[in-house]
Amino acid sequence: MQGQTTGATMRRTLRWLVLTIAFAVLAVLVWFLIPLGPLDQAEDSLISSETVVVEEDPWLTFTPAAETTTGFIFYPGARVSPVSYAPAARDIAEQGYLAVVVPMPLNMAVLSPNRAEAVIVAHPEIVTWVIGGHSLGGAMAAQFANNHRPDIDGVVLWGAYPGANTSLRNTGQDVVVVFGTRDCISTPDEVLAATVRLPEDTELVSVEGGNHTQFGWYEGQIGSCTATISREDQQSIAIEAAIELLNDLDR
């Protein structure tokens, strides 16, 4: 009888453990599947116009009315909605460049860092490619650029830097890094320390008072310090840096 009781107790304990693990896994999945943003203003950028055609499947694609041979691929930050970067992508397209924001599985670029490959294949008309990203998306964009050197001519990092296993030092690619002085997630010290893995002529753009979240149109990120510059002004600086790099490469 005691053995039966012990067995029943063990089975109940096992069921409890299985249920606990299942709920924990479900909670994590829900957490990843509910991204940060976008703010309402970002949704307005998804409307096509005479100058930019917007498509939302399979990626957020912003195609300028005038033909172009230069394109920009962007990887979102971790757990951030791709639409949070739609205003920036649209502004870049308004300047005459194809701009593509790539959604990621579970909103994590680290789970599919090579998704830019499909974008490149889908646009054979583009001969010059720049890839960029924010935060973790920037780290994965740098990794992609390093592993696909013949395909990528430039890299744009917003509040981001290449991981310890990635070096763009001698790739010959043009790189620009934009960072906020009040970024408490990708701190200025971390960004500057990582320049040893970037080309010597990398352009560093410091946004005085800029924080981490204002590189996109979203809020609520844990650990992000308060900015002392408006989102619009921080976005303007970051977008201008990207456009300048695109202009330099658009020959």
> 105-160: per-residue pLDDT in tens?
999 999 999 999 999 999 999 999 999 999 999 999 999 999 999 999 999 999 99
Q: Average pLDDT for residues 85-112, to the nearest whole number?
A: 98
Query: What pLDDT shows up at residue 17?
Result: 56
76 three-state secondary structure: coil
Query: What pLDDT shows up at residue 34?
Result: 77
Give the residue extent of every domain in the chain: 1-34, 37-249
Backbone conformation region of residue 61, classed left if phi is above 0, alpha if psi is from -120 to 50, else beta: beta
Angle between helices 231-249 and 86-94 (to 10 degrees): 40
Burial of 141 (C-beta count, 10 Å sphere; 0-12/13-18/19+): buried
- Euclidean distance between CA atoms 235 and 233, whole angstroms: 5
Six token digits for residue 13: 């304990």
Instruction: Say what percent of the chain tops pLDDT 70.
Output: 86
Task: Tell me the per-residue pLDDT of 160-170, one tens digit each, with 9 for 90 and over.
Answer: 999 999 999 99
- Euclidean distance between CA atoms 19 and 197, whole angstroms: 45
Q: Report in angstroms the alpha-carbon separations of 229 from 14, 89, 90, 183, 217.
A: 53, 21, 22, 12, 14
- Euclidean distance between CA atoms 185 and 190, whole angstroms: 9
Query: What pLDDT shows up at residue 14?
Result: 62
Whether the Cβ atoms of residue 61 and residue 100 lie closer than 8 Å to each other: yes
In the chain, which residue ranges form alpha helices assigned H by DSSP?
2-33, 40-43, 86-94, 116-122, 136-147, 188-193, 231-249
Six token digits for residue 86: 């739609």
- 50 pLDDT higher than 70: yes
Burial of 71 (C-beta count, 10 Å sphere; 0-12/13-18/19+): buried
Q: Average pLDDT for residues 15-34, to the nearest whole number?
A: 47
- Fold classification of 37-249 is Rossmann fold (3.40.50)
How far apart are the two ends of the chain, measured CA to CA in Å?
A: 85
Task: Tell me the per-residue pLDDT of 24-33, one tens digit each, with 9 for 90 and over.
Answer: 333 344 445 5
Query: How confident is the prediction for the chain on average, in pLDDT?
Result: 91
Task: Tell me the per-residue pLDDT of 186-216, one tens digit each, with 9 for 90 and over.
Answer: 999 999 999 999 999 999 999 999 999 999 9
| 3-state helix vs strand vs coil in the chain, percent to 5 | 45, 20, 40
pLDDT band at 15 (very low <50, low <70, confident <90, very high): low
